Amino acid sequence: MNCVQEKIPVVAIIGRPNVGKSTLFNRLIGQRKTIVERMSGTTRDRIYADLMWGGKWIKLVDTGGVDFLSPDRISKAVMDQTNIAIAEAEIILFVCDVKDGVVGLDEEISMFLRKSNKRVFLVVNRADNDKLSEEAIEFYQLGLGEPYPISAMHGTGIGELLDEITANFYKLPTPAPIAKAIKVAIVGKPNVGKSSFLNCLLNEERVIVNDIPGTTRDSVDIFFKKDDVVFLLIDTAGIRHLRKIKTVVDVYGISRAKASIRRCDVSLILIDGMEGLRRDDLRILKSVIDEGKGCVIAVNKWDLVKEVTTENYEKAFRVKAPFAAFAPIIFTSALIGENVLSAIDAVKKVASCYSTTVKTGELNRVLGLIWKTNPRSKHGKEIKLYYATQVGTKPPSFLLFVGDKEPIKKKYLRYLEGQLRKKFNFAGTPIRINFGMKRKTIKSNQPNGKKGKRGRKKSLLP
């Protein structure tokens, strides 16, 4: 069990708060992956992305703003993350702001970086015109060599900078595509232990853990391998009700979390075992199922729960969330590592069910028996089931052709879902069932000139 290691040079973006590091990161990778906001401290965790330039791959790392003097715990945790990024990087992009000029914190960071013995590119951002580009000469005083004036916002100087960064790199094979990995979004309301769970799984301080709700803001992608199966783990910001959102950064973070759910295969939904199932938990669970995603429920902090058995807890959970009766429940503790790997095993099983394809013949045989045992009737007359086929996976989706679909109610639909789930072991995944009318056939004109007769096809199922 280990994180997937690609032999790609790591380039870390370092700098004080609000100099445009995330804007540069987004410009380099060609998409808005990290949150950009005119508020210092927006980026906190290390954000990774693979970038190819001139046939050469680099792994780019965005980091939080460095502030040596700030006493708060978040700033210290950001610094820890930055130190890890510097340690694993071959090259460091030290970003400054030409409009601010050289400030005291820039000087402190430059001294800090010189001690790292890493190759440093001095990137002077917001050089939006020739005059500002000329003013970048001031940054020679930092003792890090030639400054590279750029505008991350407008793209000026980016190509030249990438040419210099990759000049001594070798061309490497394309990394294993993300499509081969099981995409797992780790979701939940704030402060349920998502980042602690991820760090426990990876056995390192990969993301910032703090008891202040809302510590994670960006969605962080991390490759992880267990038993030769590759997972793409996506740590997300805590999802809360709209009325509890206080800042625009919170809006961005929650938007990213919801986008992560849309692109995942399985959502690992963390519940605070001490608090029990709350309204925000139910909303998150329902949104995952509505998106048609597989789901595994991890009741975290279980080591703190006393005088309640797992059986009673699960029974109460099923009563409150009957719409998620198919989702497996794992009782975990990220603090002591209890059942964390078991949750990943459950994710692997659900991902397999999520992609299951049922052979048409077997599907029709099973549905025929289900329908015969409990046929859907209208005014005492049986509605015939003619044919069934699977029309998609992720989630498994089926189309049933019937004689009359109007009287088929949600209750019977849930019955069919339950039977299909039982027969084909669709653990942890929603099922989509739609109905179509079997067309009546009209025979072609007969040679004797008589009109063709309308006739119904006989049911293909017993």
Distance CA 181, CA 59 (A): 18
Decide if pLDDT at 208 tops 90.
Answer: no
Q: pLDDT per residue over 36-63, tens digit each?
A: 333 334 344 678 788 888 878 888 888 8
Q: pLDDT per residue over 331-353, tens digit each?
A: 999 999 999 999 999 999 999 99
Decide if pLDDT at 74 tops 80.
Answer: no
Residue 428: both structure tokens together:
């942890």
pLDDT number for residue 223: 78
Q: pLDDT per residue over 261-303, tens digit each?
A: 888 899 999 999 998 898 888 988 998 998 899 999 999 999 9
How does residue 402 score in pLDDT terms, banded at 50, 70 and 90? confident
pLDDT number for residue 203: 79
Mean pLDDT computed over 428-453: 62
Q: Domains of the chain, with CATH numbers?
A: 10-165 (3.40.50.300), 178-354 (3.40.50.300), 360-442 (3.30.300.20)
Distance CA 157, CA 22 (A): 16
Mean pLDDT computed over 188-197: 84
Q: pLDDT per residue over 357-401, tens digit each?
A: 999 999 999 998 888 887 666 555 677 888 899 999 999 999 988
pLDDT number for residue 374: 75
Which residue, 344, 396, 355, 350, is CA-closest to 229? Answer: 344
How does residue 172 score in pLDDT terms, banded at 50, 70 and 90? low
Cα–Cα–Cα angle for 31, 193, 246, rounded to 5 degrees? 60
Percent of the chain with pLDDT over 90: 39
Cis preceding-peptide flag for 407 (omega within 30 of 0): no
Distance CA 365, CA 359 (A): 10
Which amino acid is located at 22 in the chain? S
Concatenated DSSP letters for 25-85? Answer: HHHHHTS--S---SSTT---S-EEEEEEETTEEEEEEE-PPP-SS--SHHHHHHHHHHHHH
